[in-house]
Each structure stands twice: as C-alpha cells, then as structure tokens.
Chain A
Amino acid sequence: EVQLVESGGGLVQPGGSLRLSCAASGFTFSSYWMSWVRQAPGKGLEWVANIKQDGSEKYYVDSVKGRFTISRDNAKNSLYLQMNSLRAEDTAVYYCARDRRSQGYWGQGTLVTVSS
C-alpha cells in the first residue's frame, strides 16, 4: 500500500525557515517524480514544486522561487521542502504527492502557519 506521511509543519514567524519531510513507503520511491502541493485555509489547491527521480530536474511555482528548495533522499525514501523567508501567504496545509503529471497519491498533509 502506498503511504506518504508528511511532517515538520508548525508555527513560524515571518522571515523564518522550516523544513518539511515526506516519508514514502509501499512503492519504489526512486522511480517516481514527487511533488509538493499546498492549500491555504479555505482555499483551493496550489502546486508548489516537483522533482525528478534523480533530483536532476526541479520546478517551482513563481511565488516560491528563490525561497523554497525541493530535494529528496532516495536511500531514505524521503522528500523534503526547505522553506526560507516565509511569509504570511505561505500559511497552508502542505501535501506531498506522488508523480509529476498525475498526482496519483497524496499524504495527509502538514500545517504550516506563518504568523508573529
């Protein structure tokens, strides 16, 4: 059974940093693109970033470019999102999802709140 479990969310002040993790199991992690998608409170889904199987290609939504970095550790079956210079508008539930083009599996999400 495919499982994606996010962690690392919490309350952080504007300008601060946070690192999210996603632990994957039930499939060959190194064979899939992986993605981060977020959802602000009461709002719709927004794709944030994705990363190729070997980490050689990464794409970001414009609003996080230069502030967020997606990475992965295939030996640990883990996906990461390093978030720097956080803003109030980054407040959201962050989901990790499998695949690049079809997001077939999602985790339960982790809440990031940016507030002073």
Chain B
Amino acid sequence: DVVMTQSPLSLPVTLGQPASISCRSSQSLVYSDGNTYLNWFQQRPGQSPRRLIYKVSNRDSGVPDRFSGSGSGTDFTLKISRVEAEDVGVYYCMQGTHPLVTFGPGTKVDIK
C-alpha cells in the first residue's frame, strides 16, 4: 500500500500569515493516464471533509484563491497565502492513483 506522510502534524499560525503543509507518498503518484491523483481535503471541526484541491493543483469551485497546491511525483505541498479564522481545521492529503486509496495522517491548523 502507498503510505502518505504529512508534516507538520500540528501547525499553529498567526492570522494573516502564510502556512504550508507538506505531503509525501511512498510511491510515485503519476498514473498511467499521465495524471497525478493527489488531493487535499479540509475538515473543519464538526463537519464532513471538503475537497479543496484535486490532481495536485486544481482548486475546487468556491475554494478561496489563497489556497494553492503544488508538487509532483512523491512530494506535494498545500499553501495558504494568508490564514483566516475560517481555515482552522485538519487538512488531509489523499492519493487516488493506486488501487487502494490512502490518506495522510492529517495536519491540524489552529490560530496562535
């Protein structure tokens, strides 16, 4: 199975400041169709997960442009350009390239 790791696991941030979360996979996430199925999810307290980014860098409809995704192969990053209070929650990366889907352990973002 593909193991997904994230760092840091806890990220206290100051409002208005940038934040960055790293995600690494134990195998390449490039699929045979040329796409890389690395996705990012946000889970606010008490809510269902919500997809923010799909295929590395594509922002979902309604997701603020302060969120951006980048990376390739086995190394990926989610960036928040200026953290707002509503960004508090847990962020997960997820790979859908390999038959058995796997999630990262999650990064908890809160306000300092």
Chain A residues within 8 Å of B, Cβ to Cβ:
35, 37, 44-47, 50, 59, 61-62, 95, 99-109
**Size of chain B's interface in residues, with CB distance under 8 A?**
26
Contact mask B88-101 → A, CB, 8 Å, 1/0?
Answer: 00101010110111
The 7 closest A-B pairs by CB, nearest first: A101-B96, A47-B101, A101-B37, A44-B106, A45-B103, A102-B54, A106-B48
Are the C-beta atoms of B103 and A104 separated by less than 8 Å? no
Chain B interface main SS type: loop
Q: How far is the CB of B109 from chain A (nearest CB, A)?
A: 14
Most buried by B among A45, A62, A103, A107: A45
Are the C-beta atoms of B54 and A44 separated by less than 8 Å? no
Q: Kindly report which residue of chain A lies nearest to residue B95, judged by CB atoms.
A: A101
